[in-house]
Structure 1
Amino acid sequence: MAFFAFFLILCLLLFLPSTNCISSPESQHTQTVRLNHHDTIQAIEDFMAFDAGQLLQESIQVPATTTTTSSSSSPFQGNYIPVYDIDIFLKSGYEDYRSLILFRLARNAKRFEWLSTSLTDSPVVDIPYYYESASYVGIMDIGNPPQRAHLLIDTGSRFVWWDCQPCNNCPTFSYNPSRSSSYRQVDCRMEGECPGNEGLFWGCDMDGNNKCEFKVMYRDSTEAEGFLAYEKVTTTHGEEGGDVVLVENLRFGCAEKSPASMIGKKFTGILGFGPNTYSFIYQMNATSFSFCPKSHTASVATSLYFNSLPIPDDFTFRTPLLQNIQPIYYAVNLTGVYVRWEFLEIKSLTNSDGRVGAVVDSGTSISMFPLQFYNQFRDTFTRHSQWLSRLPGEQFFDTCYNISSPEWYLEVPEIIFQFSGVTGHEVLRLDANQIMMPIGTDGKYCLAFSPTKFRQFTLIGTWQLQGTRVSFDLANQMLQFDPENCKNSPS
């Protein structure tokens, strides 16, 4: 007994408050989290029944006078744009929730293929596998007078483009530059205006109209092309209420040709949030951006805030953004994962030129671990969940379980991510909804993690971050997690 007390005191002195102290298996026998199957099914049914078409239609028209919700309902003040999970607009094209979730996982797999290619020792490939790999849709206004735009938000993209009329394959609602007094085409004759013939930019055209051409060639053989221009971007959700300008002169790609579907022609372009000179977030000189990934069955918007960080509470922690990763991604040092009381050390991405880190990506749904680590993680999880009824794996998962009536709940081992903090280790506890993914509504749940074929590639997906406010503190190069912030606020 004296030895146990000594060990506990030593553990507290060495690790708290930033790290959970795992004393012994006996003292941790309650380290499980519960998933309520009844609540999950009800949320899925409500989500599938929600009429997103009306939501999209209503937000097309910019009202003559704008109103904003009271800031008292928000966790902190700041300018923001409403952001929706993309599946709320896509679900009408699928027979049921199972078909929708499998399509989401297929998008996830394609996006991973792009990310893993660009994070190997091969030359940088910073164009997504295909344009539909984003997970979130942001709503903002373009031009003067404003025209409403629905843009795919992507922390893995470094460029901004949207369709400009007249254009081929235009979405039903697309931007018309001839109606905007704030629109200005980039003139190749002006020194420093055109980036030149590099990467996305193809220099001046040869037709004598002085356009600075761009071309985004996606790896599924689709492409967006046009010319560079400047435009004003605003939001109707200013900190003081009403309209506010986010960027006065945003340099963007005015697309005359874009991928044929743009997911059913519902969205008008891509808003890159990657750490690069041409991204939206860098052009607006933002010191930070912050949002709560909602539950993937949420039918309400979250708020993406600019230049405003939440006030820290007892659950807040910060981890450094790594500087030696590819310059188009956000990465942190994920040092290990707890499965109940067992700690599994993970070696994140390390290449020959010293790049290390676990990528935090808005377009990826589920977290992905290197194969060897994943096998160890999965085997540890199954060893600690032997009371559950196993089912065959799914297309993208190898560890699945059944919940049958009248049980209606699933008790699973707790999973905790451990990060490098400012002065020590920091931990993010996952609840059952972040650990397991329902595959349809028949009671089948799968462990929401996947392996990668790349030996040292780690990816943190939004399924594990849902319900946690994630803040990118660009000024201090930190990533801030607020697990309780989203629970205390509708935004």
Structure 2
Amino acid sequence: MAVSSKLLLLVMITLISVPVPSSQFQNHNHTKLELVHRDQISSSNKFHNHSHRFLARMQRDAKRVAALTHHLSPAKDYELENLGTDLVSGYYLGFSEYLVRVGIGSPPTFQYLAVDTGSNVIWVQCQPCSQCYNQDDPVFNPATSASYTVVLCGSPACDALPLNDRRCHAGKCGYEVNYHDGSYTKGTLMLETLTFGQTRIQNLAMGCGHSNQGSFNVIAGLLGLGGGRISFVNQISETGGAFSYCLPSYSNLSPGWLRFGRGLGGAFPVGATWAPLVYNPRAPNFYYVGLSGLGVGGVRVPISEDIFRLTDSGYGGVMIDTGTMVTTLPTVAYEALRDAFIAKTNGVRAPSVSTFDTCYHQDSDNFQFPSISFYFIGGPILTLASHGFLIPVDGVETLCFAFAPSASGLSIIGNIQQTGIQISIDEARGYIGFGPNVC
């Protein structure tokens, strides 16, 4: 399905968020909005050279993967010095590559928010700032908004915050979210109106951050789409716990899209490849998928299913994450996949680049390569398009195999492998869908 580069509104509606997230669903409401990569926002992109942009992305990605590995793996599974970044305490992760444009308050102040399927709390920088980083758009001022309401301690909205993030002061519900890279946001929880074009969402619980620091660049805040009670998708009963997105490929300058709700045009498309979601009580914010194996050229690679299994203690498993760029696999699985790919590829090898050890000159004569497939529990198979596993690293001639090994037992399906195809997450029913629509 072709997607317009302009914001598409399927219907003019007003949604009311509920103080305690509800699973009730009304199938006549759908909202679709535009997703752009952070590198497409010119002022946030200080690297005009493709190679420099690529390396900056890889550095951001290394920090996020290191943080995930640190948080979700037993200490004995890896050596900290091999993770490539300094680690600090924190529960959530402060990186996301894709942005949406939303209006905050009444009248709306329009901002870019990062979309993150691994975070719950929605927040935006707020005046007055005791400490704020620079952002492109004016910082939201709640004093100018007619719909601004402070959330009180003990209220259902405050209680929906994770206990570790919740603070109370003078009866007001405060929040504090610390990210593994050292970034943080602190402030007061508020009820506000969000605007997507002509679609308004009223009484949405979100953070009003008066003290914020870190690597958010010019992004004003974050739209959390994780599995927690306070996340955007779980606050809005009309979504029914379902949403879908289509991330544009790194070589495609057209925007992708984000959509909420099931039904026609929603997150429950006919013809999708459906796989079971797997719940991890150690990481309830994140979405895990039941992966059983990998394939190259239509042939399953001999890898034990146990490598991808989530243990009873919540370690290992396969996470799908929009904030991670490169798909990482346990070393034994990665090496088996890579070796099978090399054996069936006809091309001239190029030197390794960053974390990628398998690269080719794409302008070499007769460059041919096999397909890559994911095998899911229950039988579904997803075969990736070439841009889902070969990525240009210098903007000219070098393509690299876009997977990486990890000493941890955790596998992460990153956004490279998600690009160009509709991803549908139906948390309420426990499934994740791939396709059939593309972008």
Indicate which of 413, 422, 428 corresponds to 1:460: 413
Instruction: Call closer, same or farther: CA 1:197–1:281 in 2, change over 3 Å.
Output: closer
Aligned equivalents of 1:193, 1:304: Cα separation in 2: 25
Contact 2:361–2:398 (Cα < 8 Å) also in 1:
yes
Aligned equivalents of 2:314, 2:162: Cα separation in 1: 29
Q: Which residue of 1 aligns with 2:318?
A: 358
After TM superposition, list the pairs within 5 Å mapping 1:293-372 onto structure 2.
293-308=247-262, 309=266, 312-314=269-271, 316-324=272-280, 326-344=283-301, 345=303, 346=305, 347-353=307-313, 357-372=317-332
Q: Which residue of 2 aligns with 1:106?
A: 59
Instruction: Call closer, same or farther: CA 1:426–1:395 in 2, change over 3 Å.
Output: same
Q: Deviations over 1:418-454 (max 9, x none)?
A: 112xxx3011111222121111123111100001111
Q: Which residue of 2 aligns with 1:127?
A: 91
Q: CA deviation at 1:244?
A: 2.2
Q: 2:124 matched to 1:169?
A: no
Aligned equivalents of 2:116, 2:101: Cα separation in 1: 13
Aligned equivalents of 2:196, 2:274: Cα separation in 1: 28
- What residue identity is the alignment partner of 1:377? L
Aligned equivalents of 1:234, 1:318: Cα separation in 2: 31
Q: Which residue of 2 aligns with 1:151?
A: 113
After TM superposition, list the pairs within 5 Å mapping 1:396-475 onto structure 2.
396-404=355-363, 407=365, 410-420=367-377, 424-454=378-408, 456-475=409-428
- What residue identity is the alignment partner of 2:356? F
After TM superposition, list the pairs within 5 Å mapping 1:152-301 onto structure 2.
152-167=114-129, 168-170=131-133, 171-172=135-136, 173-188=138-153, 192=156, 194-195=158-159, 198-202=163-167, 204-205=168-169, 208=170, 210-236=171-197, 243-246=198-201, 248-259=202-213, 262-263=216-217, 266-285=218-237, 286-287=239-240, 288-301=242-255
TM-score (norm 2): 0.82
Secondary structure of 2:106's partner?
A: coil
Bigger Cα displacement from structure 2, 350-359 vs 94-103: 350-359
Secondary structure of 1:138's partner?
A: strand
Q: CA deviation at 1:163?
A: 0.6
Aligned equivalents of 2:399, 2:63: Cα separation in 1: 22
Contact 1:436–1:446 (Cα < 8 Å) also in 2:
yes
Aligned equivalents of 1:359, 1:401: Cα separation in 2: 28
Contact 2:116–2:224 (Cα < 8 Å) also in 1:
yes
Q: CA deviation at 1:192?
A: 4.9
Aligned equivalents of 1:222, 1:98: Cα separation in 2: 26
Contact 1:381–1:413 (Cα < 8 Å) also in 2:
yes
Question: Segments of 4+ in structure 1 off by > 4 A?
Answer: 67-71, 190-193, 310-314
- What residue identity is the alignment partner of 1:373? A
Aligned equivalents of 2:437, 2:8: Cα separation in 1: 21
Aligned equivalents of 1:282, 1:70: Cα separation in 2: 21
Q: Which residue of 1 aligns with 2:20?
A: none
Percentage of identical aligned residues: 28
Structural RMSD (CA) = 2.6
Q: Which residue of 1 aligns with 2:339?
A: 379
Bigger Cα displacement from structure 2, 472-481 vs 272-281: 472-481
Indicate which of 76, 82, 105 corresponds to 2:34: 82
Aligned equivalents of 1:445, 1:88: Cα separation in 2: 21
- What residue identity is the alignment partner of 2:410? F
- What residue identity is the alignment partner of 2:332? Q
Contact 2:291–2:308 (Cα < 8 Å) also in 1:
yes
Q: How many residues were matched structurally?
A: 392
Unmatched 5+ stretches in structure 2: 12-27, 76-88
Q: CA deviation at 1:373?
A: 1.1
Q: CA deviation at 1:342?
A: 3.2
Aligned equivalents of 2:157, 2:414: Cα separation in 1: 37
Indicate which of 96, 99, 118 corresponds to 1:137: 99
Contact 1:121–1:351 (Cα < 8 Å) also in 2:
no
Contact 2:29–2:261 (Cα < 8 Å) also in 1:
no
Aligned equivalents of 1:327, 1:485: Cα separation in 2: 28
Aligned equivalents of 2:292, 2:412: Cα separation in 1: 13
Contact 2:122–2:206 (Cα < 8 Å) also in 1:
yes
Unmatched 5+ stretches in structure 1: 1-54, 60-66, 237-242
Q: CA deviation at 1:161?
A: 1.2
Larger Rg: 1
- What residue identity is the alignment partner of 1:336? G
Aligned equivalents of 2:399, 2:424: Cα separation in 1: 29
- What residue identity is the alignment partner of 2:73? T
Q: CA deviation at 1:367?
A: 1.0
Q: Deviations over 1:35-78 (max 9, x none)?
A: xxxxxxxxxxxxxxxxxxxx9xxx9xxxxxxx95688xxxx982
Aligned equivalents of 1:289, 1:183: Cα separation in 2: 26
Contact 1:126–1:328 (Cα < 8 Å) also in 2:
no
Contact 2:148–2:192 (Cα < 8 Å) also in 1:
yes
Q: CA deviation at 1:388?
A: 1.3
Contact 1:158–1:273 (Cα < 8 Å) also in 2:
yes
